[in-house]
Structure 1
Amino acid sequence: MGDDQLSIRNLTSNHIRVEKYEIHERVDGARNGNKVISASKNATSAFVTAKPHELVSKEMQTISVLLDPSTFRKVPVKRAKLPSQILCIFFEINDNKYQSNIIHARTHTQYLMSVDGNPDPPCKHITIYHPEQHHLVIAFRESYKSWMGSIRDDVPLSALSIPGTHNSPTYHHALPSVRCQSVPVIEQLRKGVRFLDVRVQPEHHKIPLKDEMILVHSIFPISLTGPRHFRPLVREVLQFLEANPSETVIMSLKREGTGSSTDEHLSILLRENYASDPSKWFTAPRIPYLGEVRGKIVLIRRFGLDPSLQEEWGGNGWGIDADAWADNSPHAVCPSGDICFQDFYEVLKPENIAQKIQYSVEHLQRASTNTFIRASDSASTTQPFYINFLTASNFWKMKCWPYWISTKLNPAIVEHLCLNHNKIEDETITTGDGSTGIVVCDWVGYRGNWDIVRCIVGMNSKFEKPR
């Protein structure tokens, strides 16, 4: 890519005009980053601002290029010599003026600022800049707790790009190979996560009235300070949905642990004591449209059913069926046809992380090339959920524990989504809908870095309601 061409991906539903750019030299006093930069410790999630009075203008150029919604194109914007120079790009969105100041010589996120200094501008976006590729992404930056509110009712959930977390409740103090998340589930939901991966073990198999379930990760409890239970988690999710009725939460539930319970027991326990209210749970054995499930938990079951539940829903069973899950697979489809997934997790040494990244990218490509059926076309959709686990672990190698793998995998996937997802060589968008499917992450939100969630949510702009 030449130094005179900036590639920009517009992940919003707005028409955005790139009006001009300016390159500034920092004055001597501004070379101290503390005077110019307000940033978190994590470079990839730093929100930065530059003070204009600390800069000296060097070059200005008017360009006037229109970016249509959900498009990727190159514009004639030169590189700056970061960090001794700063690149300021100016935009017009709905007759309002904004600017983005590129400061760091590393990937970073920042607010799109109002040129007139308005602290509450009409359009609230972020930009993510990749200096090596001279690439900029523009995406929404607020209302992630209710981002589904802008999506049309007639879109099937399997058409959406949905951020998710792996072993979602494992944010407690635990063995390093057990802990997979950095923040509580409620914070994940508020920041845009809409798929939760939950593993449970019924606590009292022999006592029917004891309906509590322990949260586990494989054979281990998720906390070293005492057992954590499923019921408070469900209560928390339902409270979130009550406060944000435009949203839905997909919950994948699996039985793990060392207890004597069975899948059949789990299914009865869940049906009778947790998921019996159809106003709060969607348990039909099919993929729903968004309008059907706002305010509800959508159940994906990774467990077998008691015979009595196999007769539910006209003899079609209960819950979206992901029971027959091919273990450790880079690409598989559940026999129900409702789930197509990538879940290769045996990264035995750090050198194998590249293979995991490849499998993850390949599954993103599968999801992106599908054109999904709308409710206006059919009463039901035959398109599956594409579920992509960006997770792996090797208990015996520290550098292959979930945290360490996430430090390589998550940035690689953000880069792919920004630069290459659903894009071909002439920079036009492919004929598919461009969905990412459900992207399931470890350690999302660590040190305030939600870039992967922002990029995934941004891929839904084409499904937004008319304004």
Structure 2
Amino acid sequence: MQTTAKSVLYRVYALLLFMAFSHGKDLFNDNGNLQLPDSYNIGWMEAIKDDKFLSDITIPGTHDTMALYGGPLAECQAWNLNDQLRAGIRYLDLRIFALENKLYIMHGVVYQHTSFIDVLDTIRAFLSEFPSEMVLVRVKPDLFDKDNVEKMVEKIVSNDKNVWVKSVMPTMGKARGKIVFVQKSSFKLGVPLLETDTKGDYEVTHIADKENTIDKCLTQAAEDTGRDKIVLSYSSGTGVGTFWGMFLTPKKVSEKIDPWLDQYLRRFFNDHPGSCLGVIAMDFPGIDLIQEVIQFNK
């Protein structure tokens, strides 16, 4: 009985701490209008030493970066690409469909009102303004004619000296001002990618189970970073398509997970100083959650 009472008190105390730290912070954001404080450090990678490899950096990213359209079942982000970059996002997850001679950005069967060329133009404009930064880009061929996506991407970027398509891991100094592609399975341009998630981890039927999955993935990430691969973990998820979680859209999952993730990262940072967690790809992150990820590089 005494042990049970202590457990209850501990949970209440943890909840109070969570509420105190989270109050007033921008952790989950579904507002499409980005508002940055005047003191916000957009070019946060300027502080990273030139000799540090990208695989040694903790990087905030977005899952299904361009999924702004399609309703609650499909939408994973609220900010447009330029706003995501200005907020500190440095890993982009692009789903691309090749049709004739053009590459379209998709989320499943939902067209996201832009093309791959438009995305590249936005990134280039950002890097021109903030040359201290670099942007990781993952391309996932989607729908039909998947084999043609890589060939078309390679043709588009072939003469661009500010695009990194080699498999060798660059240092921050070599990557500044560049778009760095990451490769996995159906897309072979760029540096290798290692995902901590296993098949089905994106399916969420209970939020507590998703928290345990993220814990497992980030613990593994801390062990695997610093090698010849970019390590990627997801905090995103959806219950759409499952029975028990059918009402857990990406937004509803993020509304619960993003504040929890902020507290998790705080504890991890204090318990494991000097750790690197690789890339954390999120849905609907707020600027304070993004800053908590960046904090690992200090």
State the TM-score bracket (shorter-chain normalisation).
0.7 to 0.9
Equivalent residue number for residue 83 of structure 2: 187
Does the residue aligned with 1:435 lie in a helix, a strand or coil? coil
Instruction: Looking at secondary structure, tell me which structure has more helix per residue.
Output: 2
Q: Does 1:356 align with 2:197?
A: no
Summarize deviations over 1:76-135 as a string: whole Å, max 9, x none: xxxxxx9xxxxxxxxxxxxxxxxxxxxx8562357xxxxxxxxxxxxxxx9x9xxxxxxx
Q: Does 1:341 align with 2:196?
A: yes
Matched AA of 2:234: F
Summarize deviations over 1:397-445 as a string: whole Å, max 9, x none: 553110000011111110111123460xxxxx45xx3112101000123
Q: 1:189 Cα shift? A: 0.5
Matched AA of 1:458: Q
Equivalent residue number for residue 67 of structure 2: 170
User: Quick one: which of 435, 449, 461 aligns to 2:276?
Assistant: 435
Check whether the contact 2:196–2:221 (CA below 8 A) recurs between aligned residues: no
Equivalent residue number for residue 8 of structure 2: none
Check whether the contact 2:58–2:277 (CA below 8 A) recurs between aligned residues: yes
Equivalent residue number for residue 387 of structure 1: 232
Equivalent residue number for residue 114 of structure 1: none
Supply the distance in 1 between the matched residues of 2:270 and 2:52 (Cα, whole angstroms). 19
Supply the distance in 2 between the matched residues of 1:160 and 1:106 (Cα, whole angstroms). 25
Does the residue aligned with 1:399 lie in a helix, a strand or coil? coil
Equivalent residue number for residue 141 of structure 2: 255
Equivalent residue number for residue 281 of structure 1: 163
The alpha-carbon distance between structure 1 residues 439 and 278, as it changes in their structure 2 partners (threshold 3 A), is same
The alpha-carbon distance between structure 1 residues 289 and 401, as it changes in their structure 2 partners (threshold 3 A), is same
Q: Does 1:444 align with 2:298?
A: no
Question: Which sections of structure 2, spanning at least 5 residues, go unmatched?
Answer: 1-15, 28-36
Check whether the contact 1:161–1:437 (CA below 8 A) recurs between aligned residues: yes
Asked which structure has the greater CA Rg, the reply is 1
Supply the distance in 1 between the matched residues of 2:185 and 2:267 (Cα, whole angstroms). 38
User: Quick one: which of 114, 119, 142 aligns to 1:228?
Assistant: 114
Summarize deviations over 1:335-357 as a string: whole Å, max 9, x none: xxx4142251122x2x2x21221
Q: Does 1:107 align with 2:22?
A: yes
| RMSD (Å) for aligned C-alpha atoms | 2.8
Supply the distance in 2 between the matched residues of 1:153 and 1:109 (Cα, whole angstroms). 35
The alpha-carbon distance between structure 1 residues 106 and 243, as it changes in their structure 2 partners (threshold 3 A), is closer
Q: Which has the higher contact order (CA 8 A, sep 6+)?
A: 2
Question: Which sections of structure 1, spanning at least 5 residues, go unmatched?
Answer: 1-81, 83-103, 111-125, 129-139, 205-209, 306-316, 322-337, 373-381, 424-428, 462-467
Q: 1:152 Cα shift? A: 0.1
Equivalent residue number for residue 70 of structure 1: none
Give the 5 Å matches for 1:13-412: 107-109=22-24, 142-172=39-69, 174-204=70-100, 210=101, 212-222=102-112, 227-257=113-143, 259=144, 261-263=145-147, 265-273=148-156, 275-304=157-186, 318-321=189-192, 338-342=193-197, 344-347=201-204, 349=205, 351=206, 353-369=207-223, 372=226, 382-396=227-241, 399-412=247-260
Check whether the contact 2:61–2:282 (CA below 8 A) recurs between aligned residues: yes
Q: 1:394 Cα shift? A: 2.9
The alpha-carbon distance between structure 1 residues 142 and 438, as it changes in their structure 2 partners (threshold 3 A), is farther
Q: 1:241 Cα shift? A: 0.5
The alpha-carbon distance between structure 1 residues 266 and 159, as it changes in their structure 2 partners (threshold 3 A), is same
Equivalent residue number for residue 62 of structure 1: none
Q: 1:280 Cα shift? A: 1.6
Equivalent residue number for residue 416 of structure 1: 264
The alpha-carbon distance between structure 1 residues 252 and 414, as it changes in their structure 2 partners (threshold 3 A), is same
Check whether the contact 1:249–1:296 (CA below 8 A) recurs between aligned residues: yes
The alpha-carbon distance between structure 1 residues 422 and 366, as it changes in their structure 2 partners (threshold 3 A), is farther
Supply the distance in 2 between the matched residues of 1:390 and 1:200 (Cα, whole angstroms). 22
Supply the distance in 2 between the matched residues of 1:292 and 1:109 (Cα, whole angstroms). 38
